[in-house]
C-alpha cells in the first residue's frame, strides 16, 4: 500500500474510495482469513466494524480506514506468499 498523508484531503478521498470498493461479503472473507491466522482481537474487531460500515467510509475516521486498508494488504500479501510456497 502506498504511503498516504493522512492530513492531505486528496489522499483521504483516495483512501475512502478504496474502502468503499469493498462489499460486506468481501469484509467477511477478510474476517474469516484473519480469524484463521489469529492476527489479534483488535484487528479482527476493526475488520468487523469495517464490514458494518462497508460502502460508507464517511462514518469512519481516516486513521481507522488506514488501519483497515493496511490489514487488508497484509492479509492479501500473506495469502499470496502462502500460495507460492
Number of domains in the chain: 1
Are 24 and 54 spatial neighbours (Cβ–Cβ below 8 Å)?
yes
- Flag whether 48 is in a domain: yes
- Flag whether 2 is in a domain: no
- Flag whether 6 is in a domain: no
Concatenated DSSP letters of 10-26:
HHHHHHHHHHHT--HHH
Q: What are phi and psi of 5, to 5 degrees?
A: -85, 110
Report residue 57's pLDDT band, with 50, 70 and 90 as the boundaries: very high
Mean pLDDT rounded to a whole number for the chain: 91
Query: Which of the pair, 27 or 78, is modelled with greater confidence?
Result: 27
pTM of the predicted structure, to 2 decimals: 0.87
The grid cell for 5 is 498523508
Residue 79: predicted pLDDT: 78
Are 55 and 20 spatial neighbours (Cβ–Cβ below 8 Å)?
yes
- Flag whether 13 is in a domain: no
- Flag whether 49 is in a domain: yes
Amino acid at each position: 500500500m502506498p504511503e498516504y498523508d493522512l492530513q492531505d484531503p486528496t489522499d483521504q478521498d483516495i483512501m475512502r474510495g478504496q474502502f468503499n470498493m469493498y462489499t460486506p461479503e468481501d469484509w467477511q472473507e477478510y474476517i474469516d482469513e484473519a480469524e484463521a491466522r489469529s492476527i489479534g482481537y483488535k484487528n479482527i474487531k476493526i475488520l468487523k466494524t469495517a464490514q458494518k460500515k462497508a460502502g460508507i467510509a464517511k462514518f469512519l475516521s481516516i486513521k481507522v480506514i488506514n488501519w483497515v486498508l493496511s490489514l487488508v494488504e497484509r492479509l492479501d500479501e500473506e495469502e499470496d506468499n502462502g500460495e507460492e510456497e
